[in-house]
Structure formats: C-alpha cells, structure tokens
Chains A and B, each alone.
Chain A
Amino acid sequence: MATSWTPDQPIVQCVDVRKSFGALEVLKGISLSVRKGEVICIIGPSGSGKSTLIRCINALQPITSGSIQIEGIEVTDPKLDKLALRRKVGMVFQQYNLFPHKTAMQNVMMAPIHVLRQNRDEVEARARTLLAKVRLAGKEDSYPGELSGGQQQRVAIARSLAMRPDIMLFDEVTAALDPETVKEVLVTIRELAEDGMTCILVTHEMNFAREVADHVYFTDRGVIVEHGPPDTLFTAARDARTQRFLSQVL
C-alpha cells in the first residue's frame, strides 16, 4: 500500500471516520483530504471532536470505523508499523509535554537517538540548528521548568521536527499560552508552513487560521459543517452554525 502512494495524491486522506467513547460518538463520519504542503486549520467549538480527529490521524486513538491514510498507509491496519507512521507525522500538544528531566537540547535529541538510532554528533548538530530556527539559541541547556510556556512550546516543535516528519499536527498549541507568547509560537508555525511543511492545526486563533491556512474546516458535534478557503469561510459562511460560531469568536 505504501508503495502505491505518489506525492500528487492526498498525503492525508480521511474517509467517513467515526470514533466513539463508549456510547458517546465524538466523530460522526469525518472526511477530509490534505495535499502535500497544504496548511489545514480545523476550527469549531469545544467538544466538537477536533482534537480527537488529529489524535486519530497519529494513531494515538484508534478509530471505530472508516479509514485514515497517511501517504497511502492505512492507520487502522492492525499490522500497522506505528514507528513508520510516527516518523512521518510529528505532533505538538497543547500542554507542550516536554520531558521535564531533560534539557531543551536533550529533549530534541532523544527520539532521533533512541528511536531512529542516529549518530549522536549529527543529531546534536541538527538539534542546535533546530533550536536556533525556533529562536531558542542560548537556551540549549535550560530545563523545561526554566522556560516560559512559549519557549517550551517551541522546544516541542523543534523536538518533533528532529524526526524529519512529512506532516505536522498541532493540537491547540497556543491555547495554554499567555497572549504575548502566542505570537512567538505562531511565527514559528508560519515559517514552517512557508517552508512547505504539511500542517494540520486545531486552533482557536482565527486570525492566524485566516492568514496561514490554505483550507479551513469548521466542525461541530463530530461533523464537518462547512469547509473552504479561509477568505470564503470567514467572510461568506453559508451555514447558520458557522456564522454563529464566527460571530462569537471574531
């Protein structure tokens, strides 16, 4: 399956994805596709299933039915090589989830050394470059507890990038940050997008979504209510639910 994928096909393809937690159906048939280099934003009220969806894309949560393909790899395949999948897909979390007992450098270096068994010197050089890229040069030896939220989140982004993913998932990565530090994280993500990284963002930052997204999906109660290019969605939403949501947050 993996060999049949070519870059002109969608890099992420979700078809009728359903996910239930017990009797509660959180995703009620989500279909979307993302092309290589595209930036997708998923917006919607709390509890609409946005985070669940991107956690399913990374196989952190198994889906109940439907299909999710990443570069042609079926995520629901019971024989799925999770390592192969997670090399392709990087993920950044709302709460950063850095490893608190390791410095910024070590956080970035750990997975390439432990998981990919790459050469330590090369990994170190790359980690330094990545930390500089997210504007954290000079903070290499700081522990997460010594960094601000925005700095920690940028370490988390560098940590994901160290695995050289093809796709980056961002799960409300600015939701836990102070308003002043939101910007520094968004700048980093925008630069990534400009470099051609495929990004899927769950976000409440509407202005940012409008600015960087190629395509915006509005979800509510487990379904995609409406989607389209940001200019259309934000200015000329057709559905009443989308209009109501946007009028509350914009």
Chain B
Amino acid sequence: MQAIGNWFQHLYETTGLNFSVFYDAYDWDRYFAGLKMTLLLSVTTILLSLLIGALGALAQGSLSRMLRIGVDAFVVVFRNTPPLVQIFFFYFGLGTMLPAVETAGMRVPLLSNVQWAIISLSLFAAAFNVEIFRSGIEAVPRTTLEAAEALGYTRFKAYVHIVLPLALRVCLPALNNNLVNLLKTTTLAYAIAVPETLYAVKQIWSESQNVFEMMVVLLATYGILVGILVWLMHRWERAMRIPGYAR
C-alpha cells in the first residue's frame, strides 16, 4: 500500500497529476467513506426496489380493482417524473412536514437525508421493476398456469413455484439494465447532501484543486461498480439457464 502511495506522490511531483486520494490519508478516508455510502445506497435500493417491484407486479394480477389501479397510478407517477425532482419532493416536500424528534437534546428530522434518498430511489426504480416483472409474468404461457391449476395448485402457490421462476428468467436482462441505471442514479442523492462518492469526490477536488484527476477517479469508480453488478447479474442469468429450454 505504501508503495502505491509513494508512486502516486512521485507521479504528482514529476507530472503534476494529483491523485491525492491515493497518497493522502485524509482524502482517501473521505473517498472511501463516500464509496461505502454509495454501496449502502446501491444495495439497499436494489433490494427494496426488487421487493416493491415484485409485490407491485403481483398486485397487478390481483382480483381487486382498487389494488390494480393503485399500482398503475404508482407506476405512472414514479415513471413519468424525474428522479431528482422525486428526491427533492420527498426531502424538502414531505420531509419538512413530518414531525421532528428529540435526540440527545437536539431536534432532528424524523428521517435523515440518507433515509429519504433510499426511500425515494427505491420507489423510482421499483416503478420500472413492476413493469419489468409484469412483462416476465405475461411471457409465461397461460397453459402452463392451467397445468398447475389442474394439479390443484392455488393461484398463489402456482405463482411462487411456477410463474415467478419462469418470469424471472424472461425479465433478467431488462432487470439488469434497470439495476445498472439505479446504481448510477444513486449519485442524485448528492443533491440532498448525502455524502456518497460523487459528493465526497467533489469535496476533495474543491480543496485539493485536482478536478480532472478526481473526475477520472470518479468515472473509474462507477465503471468498476457497474462492472461488478453486471458480472453478478450475468452469473445469475447463467445459473438460471434451463438445459434445452427454447430461447
């Protein structure tokens, strides 16, 4: 590690390229904290958006008309508005209407900016996931569901054991796309001062006067994060492949 630090220090002294995060402990800590925040945002919003998306897609197939209309309205609202506006709406709009709570003698908002970012981004991505899951469910032939019914499966059990596993295989490529977008969209949390990677890197370049170098670091960071996500999703796709299944 020391060798890497020395090399970047040397690079700075000889060429003027200042990758301060790789030799300056203070900058590194800020960058690393930002990276951890980005990972927290990404993992929680991916999981929450998958959960909400799956529930929404199930509700779309429900017998209750109210529920179906509710899901459709949710999809329209969150798909037709910009995610940055949604984040502002939640944080500045709803956030200020919620009561504050007393913690250690300080009045703090009920939900922090990080929590609002997670809620807002999860709902944004979930709206797309609902549609993605629906496309998968609709791709499962009705006759397959009928065969399950003829074997005595209830609608719910048929969904769990037959429809959803097949639907998931159909919609994985589209889901992959949306989750990649979600990971990149976590940078919008910057706008409500969530100290994620973009926010941390912006602070570093303001103080160390190395905008170009930190831009390179920033782009490389997201490039690698998305690369890891795509690699995981492709592995999942391969693991789910059915021998002999018509593609």
Using a CB–CB cutoff of 8 Å, the interface residues on chain A facing chain B are 58, 60, 82-83, 86-87, 89-91, 93, 95, 97-101, 110-111, 114-116, 142-147, 156, 159-160, 163
A-B residue pairs, 9 tightest by C-beta: A145-B244, A97-B147, A146-B244, A111-B151, A86-B152, A91-B150, A115-B152, A145-B245, A143-B243
CB distance from B140 to the nearest CB of A (A): 10
Give Cα A145–Cα B243 distance, bound, in whole angstroms. 7
B63-95 interface with A by 8 A CB criterion: none
> For B153, what are the chain A residues with a Cβ–Cβ distance below 8 Å?
111, 114-115
**Looking at the complex, which one of A86, A91, A101, A116 makes contact with B169 (CB distance below 8 Å)?**
A101
Binding site for A on B (CB under 8 A): 141, 143-144, 146-154, 157, 161-162, 165-166, 169, 242-246
Contact among B149, B151, B157, B245 with A160 in the assembled complex (CB-CB below 8 Å):
B151
Docked complex Cα distance between A99 and B151 (Å): 12
A60-B146 in contact (CB<8A): yes
CB pair B152 A93 closer than 8 Å:
no
Q: List 7 A-B residue pairs with CB atoms under 8 Å apart, sorted by A's residue number.
A: A60-B150, A82-B149, A93-B143, A97-B147, A101-B166, A110-B151, A160-B151
Complex CA gap A99/B153 in Å reads: 13
List, in ascending order, chain A residues with CB within 8 A of B144's CB: 97, 99-100
- Closest B residue to A111 by beta carbon equals B151
Q: In the bound complex, do residue A114 and residue B143 qualify as a contact, i.e. CB atoms below 8 Å apart?
A: no
The minimal Cβ–Cβ distance linking B154 to chain A, given in whole angstroms, is 8
Question: Are A115's CB and B150's CB within 8 A?
Answer: no
Secondary structure at the B interface, as helix, strand, loop or mixed, is helix
Contact A114 B146 (CB under 8 A): no
A97 to B157, CA, bound (A): 17
Are the CB atoms of A143 and B151 closer together than 8 Å?
no
Contacts of A143 in B (CB 8 A): 242-245
Chain B proximity of A60: nearest CB distance (Å): 6
Could you tell me if A114 and B157 are in contact, using CB atoms closer than 8 angstroms?
A: yes
Known: A60-B146, A101-B242, A143-B243. 18 other contacts (CB 8 A): A86-B150, A91-B147, A93-B146, A95-B143, A97-B144, A99-B162, A99-B166, A100-B144, A100-B242, A101-B166, A101-B169, A110-B161, A111-B152, A114-B153, A115-B151, A144-B244, A145-B244, A160-B151
Q: Considering the chains assembled together, what is the distance between the CA atoms of A36 and B146 in angstroms?
A: 26
Residue of A nearest to B150 (CB): A91
In angstroms, Cα B141 to Cα A82, docked, is 22
The CA of A89 and the CA of B151, in the complex, are separated in Å by 9
Q: Complex formed: what's the CA distance from A82 to B152 in Å?
A: 7
In Å, the complex CA distance between A73 and B35 comes to 64
Q: Are A145 and B242 also in contact (CB < 8 A) when A93-B146, A115-B153, A159-B151 are?
A: yes
A101 cross-chain contacts in B, Cβ below 8 A: 165-166, 169, 242, 245
- Once A101-B242, A143-B242 are accepted as A-B contacts, the answer to whether A86 and B151 lie under 8 Å apart by CB is yes
| Cβ-closest chain B residue relative to A99 | B162
Q: Are B166 and A100 in contact (CB under 8 A)?
A: yes
Given the complex of chains A and B, what is the CA–CA distance between A196 and B109 in angstroms? 74
Taking CB atoms, residues of chain B closer than 8 Å to A90 are 150
Which residue of chain A has its CB nearest to the CB of B169? A101
Instruction: Give A81 Cβ to nearest chain B Cβ, in Å.
Output: 10
A149: shortest Cβ distance to chain B, in Å? 13
Q: Point out the residues of chain A lying under 8 angstroms from B246, CB to CB.
A: 145
In the assembled complex, which residues on chain B have CB atoms less than 8 Å from the CB atom of A111? 151-153
Q: A12–B143 Cα gap in the complex (Å)?
A: 24
Chain B hits for A144, CB < 8 A:
244-245
Contacts of A142 in B (CB 8 A): 244
Most chain-A Cβ atoms within 10 A of its Cβ — which of B152, B157, B165, B245?
B152
- Please name all residues of chain B whose beta carbon is closer than 8 Å to the beta carbon of A97 when the two chains form the complex: 141, 143-144, 146-147
Quote the shortest CB–CB distance from B4 to chain A (angstroms): 47
CB-contact partner of A114 in B141, B149, B161, B245, under 8 A: B161
Residues of B within 8 A of A87 (CB): 152
A60 to B146, CA, bound (A): 7
Tell me whether B243 and A163 are in contact (CB under 8 A). Answer: no
Set of chain A residues within 8 Å of B244, measured between Cβ atoms? 142-147
CB distance from A116 to the nearest CB of B (A): 8
**Contacts of A98 on B, CB cut-off 8 Å?**
147
Complex interface: chain B residues within 8 A of A99 (CB):
144, 147-148, 162, 166
Contacts of B143 in A (CB 8 A): 93, 95, 97
